[in-house]
Chains A and B, each alone.
Chain A
């Protein structure tokens, strides 16, 4: 078990709603961004002199630009429906981690400055001035929200605390209070092209290595092309896929699928990152700047289609925002949606019977599937609502014999976040990450006990990294988390591949 200097929650068989323990997570806040990283993104380097009035001005600006913010701040009736829905509340018991508690941190300042009732009777309606203490709370608790939108599912008005957190972070960035992790990473994308800061030559090396590995393993020459002009498909994938386990096994899988499909494809060193942390910090401008790199790469490489690899928030930005931020995509092949998810691509081939899949090759695993929050509640796959739940499961069922879902209350649009989303995937936030993972790990633990599940598949780079890190705190193994396309990779028998049980595989496929 990993060592912790805080109490790791105990996993229960039946979920419990904890009693509130005010203030227990007030100490948790991430490292602040250094001045040079702030400047890169167009923000002041440190807390500006008249920060109170600057913050209020920025809030006013955002209220005029985002209907969500305005309507959500006005509409909450304090009904309490969201109070027990946030994994960070369930894991920490801090009432400021209840979605409405979190919103109220911003709402009380909104009411003070932007509503008649709050100007006239602040005490009555819970309005407050923006003091240093309030700013401290903002920095702590708006970095204890993974923007997973679970609260918005259960709110009678769909109030989405993610929108509030994004706005709060944008306001803080504009007065010089930025978060190191997110802002440094966005800087790396601008300078080098991806979150991990892997330069082009390093990528080329890695991809060459993958080609050799796959050749050794299968005897088939599968290509992992980089910057290949004129390829049909541009694959944009999270940079974790280039080197970390279990991510890279997913990338190997995408390559094999493309190989079997016969469609030419390429990665780009300029757009070597699907992630877009501009969303986490609520900055339209930065999110757009990151997204435009994909447009530039698509034009330069003269591709016809864009496909995204496995990443949750990246798919949200891709599916829901890319057309807005970097469109229109009229220069691409209109027969395909822009962009497509790799799962949509693979699923299409499975439907057409173009993949020779031997499920028994995954027989040493009993699987469950984790719906990543941004895929589940902020995007879609395929042409029907809910395709984002069905398509990955269909792929898993086509590649494995043993699959069990977790408790219905914890999957699909009610899924629990892994605890590391929204820009929280950093070591300085380990406590909140471990505690926030509790509801998901609890449900996982229950299917492990009841159904003998051994592994959990996911289609998000953040989920994979987060679980790899936090599962050991709960006494589980870090390699219990796998990529969906790792399962595809295991089961896929390539055309011309030599196998021990060639005939058997052919039978299965027929």
Chain B
């Protein structure tokens, strides 16, 4: 039994490393690549505060998606907001003592889980029902949805159908902080759930899930509209001026 716990411990160390290192690598790459021209999609804010507000509306409400496609917005927002609540709820397994706000959102985390699965189902349905979306869908797009929905369903099953020993799960993860491998309950559902979560962490920096950091680096959304007032020039473009 402890063999299984060892495998999962190794898996999570690896997944956490790939997630952090992979994302850091990407974020550094994005940050280092210059944006040589001013290309905000206008009308655009003329101040940094304005840009922060625009970005907040995009991150929190998916403003552009709302303008573009109401159905995708409904399902997409349900899924993400659900995922957000679920993530907050899960913090209780990773923090000790559990902060009060996290205690308080516990029930909402459950609703979040349900919303998340419904949202994902809707998004997946679109991939079959709308011919344009079917055309642009690759196998990987289906697989990511399958992965997330299975994570969600296995999680909900553990909540409502076959419970697992959650205190021991918490001990397991607390142990990982200090390099100790505690025994993980060998419930198939839990093992599946955790395996898929680790997989999600691993593919994150190598897939379209990069949209999350990508949004913050998108020049059409994060640039201030002030090209006449302030000269904007990339280092490589400046070198052209020397000769």
Contact = CB atoms under 8 A, between A and B. Distances in A.
A115 B210 CA distance: 12
B208 A78 contact: yes
B179 interface: no
A19 B226 CA distance: 41
A383 B210 CA distance: 35
A85 interface: yes
B132 A95 contact: yes
B34 A67 contact: yes
Given A79-B76, A320-B227, A157 B139 contact: no
A155 interface: yes
Given A67-B217, A324-B233, A117 B68 contact: no
B215 interface: yes
Q: Which of A17, A156, A319 has the most CB of B within 10 A?
A: A156
Given A75-B211, A157-B221, A388-B42, A66 B33 contact: yes
Interface stretch (B43-51, B100-108, B147-155, B162-170): B43-51
Contacts of A123: 139
A26 to B, nearest CB: 15
Nearest to B144: A77
Contact of B227 (A319, A383, A388, A389): A319
A20 B45 contact: no
Interface residues of A, number: 73
Contact of A154 (B68, B143, B219, B225): B68
Contacts of A323: 227-228, 230-232
B5 interface: no
B56 to A, nearest CB: 14
Contact of A70 (B33, B42, B231): B33
Interface in A46-64: 63-64
Contact of B65 (A66, A79, A321, A380): A79
Contact of A158 (B33, B221, B240): B221
Contacts of B221: 157-158
B43 to A, nearest CB: 4
B140 A80 contact: no
A492 B105 CA distance: 66
A67 B33 contact: yes
Contact of A71 (B218, B229, B240): B218
Contacts of B225: 380, 385
Interface stretch (A97-105, A359-367, A466-474): A97-105
B67 A153 contact: yes
Contact of B215 (A75, A104, A388): A75
A67 B42 contact: no
Given A126-B140, A160-B39, A80 B133 contact: yes
B38 A320 contact: yes
Contacts of B42: 376-380, 385, 388, 413
A342 interface: no
Which 3 A/B pairs are nearest by Cβ-Cβ distance? A154-B68, A75-B214, A81-B68
B64 interface: yes
Contacts of B131: 19-20
B58 A156 contact: yes
Contacts of B140: 117, 124-126
A156 B62 contact: yes
A385 B211 contact: no
A438 to B, nearest CB: 17
A254 B220 CA distance: 32
Nearest to B205: A116
Nearest to B138: A126
Given A19-B131, A125-B138, A324 B218 contact: no
Interface in A367-422: 376-380, 383-386, 388-389, 413
B30 A78 contact: no
A72 interface: yes
B64 A385 contact: no
A79 B30 CA distance: 22
Interface in B116-147: 126, 130-133, 135-141, 143
A104 B141 CA distance: 14
A72 B64 contact: no
B136 A98 contact: yes
Nearest to B209: A77
A153 B54 CA distance: 13
B131 to A, nearest CB: 5
Contacts of A72: 218
Contacts of A155: 64-65, 68
A65 B234 contact: yes
A125 B135 CA distance: 14
A308 to B, nearest CB: 12
Nearest to A285: B240
Given A98-B132, A125-B207, 11 more contacts: A67-B35, A67-B219, A77-B141, A78-B208, A79-B65, A84-B132, A98-B136, A100-B136, A158-B218, A327-B231, A385-B225
Interface string A1-38: 00000000000000001011010000000000000000
Interface string A288-309: 1000000000000000000000
